[in-house]
Structure 1
Amino acid sequence: MADFSPVELLALFQRAQALFTDRVDAVDPDQWEDEALPGWTVADLVAHLVSEQLWAPPLLAGEPYTEGRVPDDTGDLLGDDPFTGWETAADGSLAAFAEDDALTRTVHLQRGPTPAGQYILEMTADLTVHAWDLARATGEDTELDGDLVTAALVLAEQLPDDGVPGFFGPPLEVPAGASPQTRLLARFGRKDD
């Protein structure tokens, strides 16, 4: 992992949340059932990120990840107001990461023990890439924050050359001199339009 201080990691995470929040806020009521990714609607994509945000507080508190269970399993993660559902989950996640020693802890993810600093960088990258997915699905601005792209590339360059089965496919080829955003998206199997 690159040498990001805890303060830098927290600031990047907060910016990634804000980027995604802007994209959620821009979803028109008739767009929630539109396709965001193969097999996922816009609502599915936002619910996925809500679930990830809901997991941060218990993981940082030392609980192990349990597949198929959301920490406060209320069924419909988005409820009647998807924007409020997203914001509530994001606020709780940010508060958990902002605790004094949170980024020095170890979290127990599905793949095993992971430093919390690595975990927040992964969540930042996921928010950044999914902000692009959401903007693309809803016809909004797909330009990403350059600092977030740079941080996410640190993680993306650690990914296996064949992708991560069940999460995303192998990276796409990009021309020499491609922009950082194009390179980032390609590492996650996406083509920057």
Structure 2
Amino acid sequence: MMTTLSEQEFLVLNGAHLKKMASANELARAVGVAASDAEAVLNAAADKGLLMVTEGKYLLLPDGTSAVHEYYTTAYGTLRSNEEVLAWYDRFETINDQFIKQVSEWQSADGDDRIQARLIKTVERLIKNIGELTPLIPRYHTYVDRFGASVALVDQGEKDYVCKPTLDSVHNVWFEFHEDILSVIGRPRDT
């Protein structure tokens, strides 16, 4: 039986889908909703068997993943053939390749400041480019906000916010955004 999600249910469950395993507060911050609203959605979804809770963290189950994917198809189906969106994605892939290379170089060089500066410039370029999509996908403003917050912390010397997996680091936000835009345009990760 297919579950049809409301916009708010999609926001929260998509956050769980992209983060893989997160608390209600982490999901609320990531998707830009009140923690109490996120918790209500998560608890209702758990009651429906769409996700499970383990040690205060939520994990989407197959039925929840199917519901999220169905929402993408319904809400963004027309964007999957929009030439401007597809051209935007092609440009993103070039930036994505640069970002991946810069993260690897940064890690290999133990956080070299020059490499970090180039990496942050690449992120700032993506932030600007996401602005081209927000008229079509308004919820993408949360990625702009999250990138901005992580970059600000990196600028303050918090190098963990470059790519530490347990934080809302630049790398984690980038990974989630990439998964999200792939789902919007209907392409698998390996394409």
TM-score (structure 1 length as normaliser): 0.31
Larger Rg: 2
- Would you tell me which structure has more helix in proportion to its own residues? 2
- Which protein has greater RCO, CA pairs closer than 8 Å, 6+ apart? 1
